[in-house]
Amino acid sequence: MTLLLDIISTAAILFIVAAGLLAIFGVLKIINFAHGAWLTVGAYCAVVTTELGLNPWFALPLAFILGALLGGLTERFIVRPLYRRPLDAILATWGLGIVIGQLITLWFGRDVHFTTALMQGTVDVLGTSYSFYRLFAVLAALAIGLGFAFLLDGTRLGLSAQAVIMNEALARALGIDTEKVRLATFMAGAGLAALAGVLLAPMTSVDPNMGVPWLTGAFMLVMVAGTSFGALAVACLLFGAAQVVVSTFLSPILGGITVAVLCAITLRIRPKWFARA
């Protein structure tokens, strides 16, 4: 039972981290390598609220707003000028990620920080007592997934975003303000990354490079899932399960690289498998 709950909550956390990356990839067709840095920024929002003795929940809106603002600036001043050179845009986000990491180090030092948990204690799930907080992460992932589903299928902005994902030139020719859709997506994606950072902070330790392994995993998951949130959810469940099993029965260190390795193997043998799912 604990294993099952571990699998579900790990998948949920992977999904929260990867969702923003996937949204940006779908609309802008670039991988935002600053995603890990924004996640770190979010985690440090939790550190700041902890150190100031504020209510830890306050870190959630703070991180989302800060992340969205940073994302908006990045889109406007780094990504948009490189619109016709996507490879350069990707490299630029990578560089930006390094710069943000260094700035955080300058400000907070290299030390590991810990944050106040948003909620404590355990709950009883069918006879197994389990961390309340990890279950909360599952709810958060569900909310994010359903939120995206509603946004894409139920709103005008979502329809415009779908149009840009499918055929940007046509979307523009039909009068959709594609620049606005790109900006909004980038802001939402960055905000989500920072939000993920807050949610992760109590489960791990916070340091300036904490985003890197998450970025790697999320990047591989997005490569496997393409532009579909459904496929992303399935991929997170399957590869998250593998990660938990490997961590539990072999070694946590191997577990840490399981997602990336399995995704690479999937891409090698069945590149279209998830995209169709």
Partner 1 sequence: MSDAAKLQLNGISSGYGAVDVINEVTLSVRSGEIFALMGKNGMGKTTLLKSILGLIKLTRGSVAVDEKSIAGRKPSELIACGIGYAPQEQPLFQDLSIRDNLRLALTSDRKLAAAQERVYGYFPFLKERLSQKAGTLSGGEQKMLILARALMLQPKLLLIDEISEGLQPSVVSKIADVLKHEAASNGTTILLVEQNLDFALSIADRWAVLKLGAIDDQDTNGPDSRSRVLQHLKI
- State which of residues 29, 76, 80, 172 lies at the interface with partner 1 (CB under 8 A): 172
Please tell me whether residue 125 adopts helix, strand or coil conformation: strand
CB nearer partner 1, residue 125 or residue 170: 170
- State which of residues 53, 121, 127, 175 lies at the interface with partner 1 (CB under 8 A): 175
Q: Which of residues 30-59 bind partner 1 (CB under 8 A)?
A: none
Q: If binding is defined by CB under 8 A, does position 167 make contact with partner 1?
A: yes
Q: Which of residues 176-205 bind partner 1 (CB under 8 A)?
A: 176-179
Q: Are 58 and 121 in contact (CB under 8 A)?
A: no
Q: If binding is defined by CB under 8 A, does position 156 make contact with partner 1?
A: yes
Taking the complex as a whole, how short is the minimal distance between the CB of residue 155 and partner 1, in angstroms? Answer: 10
- State which of residues 91, 99, 139, 173 lies at the interface with partner 1 (CB under 8 A): 173
- Rounded to the nearest angstrom, the gap between the alpha carbon of residue 181 and the centroid of all alpha carbons in its chain is 19
- State which of residues 82, 149, 159, 267 lies at the interface with partner 1 (CB under 8 A): 159
- Interhelix angle for 156-166 vs 178-200, to 10°? 100
- State which of residues 163, 221, 222, 238 lies at the interface with partner 1 (CB under 8 A): 163
Contacts of 15 (CB under 8 A, 6+ apart): 141, 144, 145, 232, 233, 236
Contacts of 13 (CB under 8 A, 6+ apart): 137, 141, 196, 199, 200, 203, 240
Q: Are 255 and 246 in contact (CB under 8 A)?
A: yes
Residue ranges that bind partner 1, judged by CB under 8 A:
156, 159-160, 162-163, 166-167, 169-179
